[in-house]
């Protein structure tokens, strides 16, 4: 395997209790690349991310991360892979600043205090540095988790819908951060419902569906996100303003053709994997 290959998935099948949640996926992510997973809510994007992170055993196919089989218990894996999932994975007894400081120090960052200060400012949390996470709004907690994801050294960054509960200004700042990540040689794997973020960051995308998963360009994936055939109820577009108040935002639309459980742009796209009837996740 070439040394710059960070993730290699071949006919990767994921699910629960032996039942697949989506069609198998095949993709490669190299150093300096970003791959986006798109698809309807419940299509299996998060399940794929959990398999990549070693939190779920694949039900079929091949998977390697950083040239090795995935084992999230390995010190090497933990030292090189950072992730932010849709979980409130913070330390409830630590303040916001303490959370970032502990994360940075725990992963051997030389100037942990300086990095924590930078991240507090970048993610708009400086005025909340000395409060507990429970006192934050949901959008502010999301920013804390994202800041913690950037507080540690990494070769691979895995994000599950990082745009959730972020205002437009913070989404733009996140896109800049992820572009810088790529420019520095880091790799990014993200699931997203935001077509603007996708086109700003991703080099390729996979549309995850019931019967087939399709490798496509970011532009085609952005059109798929905006299509009504994705059946999104609008929750994914829900954001917060800077002060934590809820706001809503729309997605760009575009012409698509229907792929059961997902939508495929009318322009050329490469189908992946075999057919696999999807079961509802528990």
The model's pLDDT over 73-129, given as tens digits with 9 standing for 90+, comes to: 888 898 999 999 976 788 889 999 999 999 999 999 999 999 999 999 999 999 999
pLDDT attached to residue 73: 86
Q: Are residues 97 and 233 in the same domain?
A: no
Examine the fold and report which residue of 103, 121, 153 is the final residue of a domain before the chain moves on.
153
Does the residue 74 lie in any domain?
A: no
Other C-beta atoms closer than 10 Å to the C-beta of 138 total 14
Does the residue 240 lie in any domain?
A: yes
Query: Residue 90: left (phi > 0), alpha (psi -120 to 50), or beta?
Result: beta
Q: Are residues 159 and 51 in the same domain?
A: yes
- Residues of the chain with pLDDT below 70 are 1-2, 87, 228-282
Q: Are residues 186 and 237 in the same domain?
A: yes
pTM: 0.81
Residues 6 or more apart in contact with residue 121 via CB below 8 angstroms: none
In this structure, the strands spanning 187-191 and 156-160 are parallel
Q: Are residues 25 and 91 in the same domain?
A: no
Residue with tokens 């010190």: 75
Q: Are residues 185 and 257 in the same domain?
A: yes
pLDDT attached to residue 272: 54
Examine the fold and report which residue of 124, 153, 182 is the final residue of a domain before the chain moves on.
153
């Amino acid at each position: 395997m070439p040394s710059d290959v960070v993730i290699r998935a071949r006919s990767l099948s994921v699910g629960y209790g032996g039942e697949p949640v989506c069609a198998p996926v095949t993709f490669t992510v190299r150093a300096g690349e970003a791959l986006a997973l798109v698809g309807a809510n419940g299509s299996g994007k998060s399940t794929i991310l959990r398999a990549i992170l070693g939190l779920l055993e694949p039900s079929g196919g091949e998977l390697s991360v950083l040239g090795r089989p995935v084992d999230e218990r390995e010190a090497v894996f933990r030292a090189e892979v950072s992730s932010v999932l849709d979980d409130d994975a913070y330390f409830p007894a630590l303040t916001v600043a303490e959370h970032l400081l502990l994360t940075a120090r725990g992963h051997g960052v030389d100037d942990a205090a300086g990095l924590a200060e930078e991240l507090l400012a970048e993610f708009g949390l400086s005025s909340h540095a000395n409060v507990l996470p429970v006192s934050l709004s949901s959008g502010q907690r999301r920013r804390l988790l994202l800041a913690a994801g950037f507080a540690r050294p990494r070769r691979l960054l895995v994000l599950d819908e990082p745009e959730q509960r972020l205002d437009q200004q913070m989404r733009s700042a996140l896109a800049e951060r992820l572009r810088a990540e790529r420019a520095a040689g880091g790799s990014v794997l993200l699931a997203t419902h935001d077509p603007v973020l996708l086109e700003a960051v991703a080099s390729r995308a996979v549309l995850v569906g019931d019967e087939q998963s399709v490798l496509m360009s970011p532009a085609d994936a952005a059109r798929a996100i905006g299509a009504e055939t994705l059946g999104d109820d609008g929750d994914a577009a829900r954001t917060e303003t800077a002060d934590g108040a809820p706001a809503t935002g729309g997605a760009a639309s575009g012409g698509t053709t229907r792929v059961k459980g997902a939508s495929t742009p009318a322009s050329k796209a490469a189908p992946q994997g075999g057919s696999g009837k999807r079961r509802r996740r528990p």
